[in-house]
Chains A and B, each alone.
Chain A
């Protein structure tokens, strides 16, 4: 096998874990943040941080898959939450209200109505997070330098 193959597989594995871990909490966070501009801005703050700052925390950890995934999730989660919030706010409130007045709890409204209605754009956002996590170069480089696993 070509020596770059294990590295590529590793990248994909990290990206998959990042996506899998951020998807559900990110979507739920987006649901909770609907109509709350200030909190959404706070939640999106990690997107503003340069990767080097974020990764400096991980410098003192041994470089493992877990650390790489955690670094990715810090970016993936707010991104998904933001995308999900915008998508949920776009839904017709009457459809959701119709479910509420029919006796559905907020969880049921979310799970049975809002989520299916927003599923496609949410999958799209998840794919972007996957790509983001896979292409996340700065974080890897930083951590990799310290742990001197350079090829």
Chain B
């Protein structure tokens, strides 16, 4: 079992306090800058001593504040990829990798280094100093250096790893991996997702589930879902599995909400890509809300439309081109996509 429970206060006022288990596969760590992601990784690696808690890696105790155990970093069997990569500038890429393999005898070391160079497509640039290699080559070198020691856990800071690189790491590495990233698409590729803000875990769970159905207002905000409305429950009908939610300017019907009462205040979120946009006069139906278009901003692959009442809808470009000449707008809130928090 790999379990991390640590608390640490920093002079800058951040108070890290986390408790979670790591499963095999990739766990993504997502959160705003200064939220304690790097501090968490540094504590696990042993560069920083937590104030209290316990770190278990594969049932081996790496740190236990109560028992005053703190295994030094070099004995932790952890691979670490720094955001700055931290390659040794006076060593070639090959020697950087070999440096981390010195516990093996000479021949074995050569074989392993050659294997790593091959696997990360570095054979041709093995003799370059880091300053002369490209950013992508340096990143692959840093990853190879972290992996060559056969770590039980790989920690990746946000160094620009992309999905193909992750896939390449996963080919020969089955142990847990903790990946800091600011890229939600990369989070979706991970198995588990942890949302970290101000040193606390806001929410964690299977990445797909968490991205689709976050359970708290903080998580919704962290994931950048702009549609967040405060309302009250106007009606609840368990028989027809429905509820009526009133937001002042408009009201919506949603699924029955067990554990809630009529009159409860709730927050409701909906992902902008789940909203459907219709031309004003033609359409009417359940959960249609009339709104005025305020702004349109073009994105790489879609178009974000901002409507009155703080409603944001993301449309594909084709859909947008089809609808852009509408005089009036109605926004459909599919009730199955409503996230009642």
Contacts and interface: CB of A to CB of B under 8 A. Distances in A.
Given A97-B45, A97-B47, A98-B82, A103 B74 contact: yes
A103 B45 contact: no
A148 to B, nearest CB: 53
A2 to B, nearest CB: 45
A113 B88 contact: yes
A100 B72 contact: yes
Contacts of A113: 88
A102 interface: yes
By size class, the interface of chain A is: 10 to 19
B84 A104 contact: no
A105 B75 CA distance: 9
B161 to A, nearest CB: 16
Contacts, number: 62
Contacts of A104: 74, 99, 102
Interface string B87-120: 1111000000001101100000000000000000
Contact of A97 (B75, B86, B100): B86
Contacts of B103: 103
B315 to A, nearest CB: 44
A101 B90 contact: no
Interface string A104-115: 110010001100
B47 A103 contact: no
Contacts of A36: none
Contact of B90 (A92, A97, A103, A116): A116
A101 B73 contact: yes
A99 B74 CA distance: 8
Contacts of B102: 103-104, 108
Contact of A94 (B76, B84, B100): B84
Interface size range of chain B in the complex: 20 to 34
A100 B102 CA distance: 12
B296 to A, nearest CB: 44
B35 interface: no
A99 B97 CA distance: 10
Most interface-central of B86, B145, B149 (chain A CB within 10 A): B86
A41 interface: no
A92 B86 contact: yes
Nearest to A94: B86
A98 B80 CA distance: 7
Contacts of B86: 92, 94-95, 97-98
B55 interface: no
Nearest to A96: B86
Interface in B32-83: 45-47, 72-76, 78-80, 82
Interface in A66-109: 92-95, 97-105, 108
Nearest to B142: A98
B99 A102 contact: yes
Interface string B229-250: 0000000000000000000000
A102 B145 contact: yes
A101 B74 contact: yes
A73 B217 CA distance: 67
Contacts of A99: 88, 99
Interface of A: 92-95, 97-105, 108, 112-113, 116-117
28 contacts: A92-B84, A92-B86, A95-B86, A95-B87, A95-B88, A97-B45, A98-B82, A98-B87, A98-B88, A99-B99, A100-B47, A100-B72, A101-B47, A101-B76, A101-B80, A101-B146, A102-B74, A102-B100, A102-B146, A103-B74, A103-B100, A103-B103, A104-B102, A108-B102, A112-B88, A116-B90, A117-B89, A117-B90
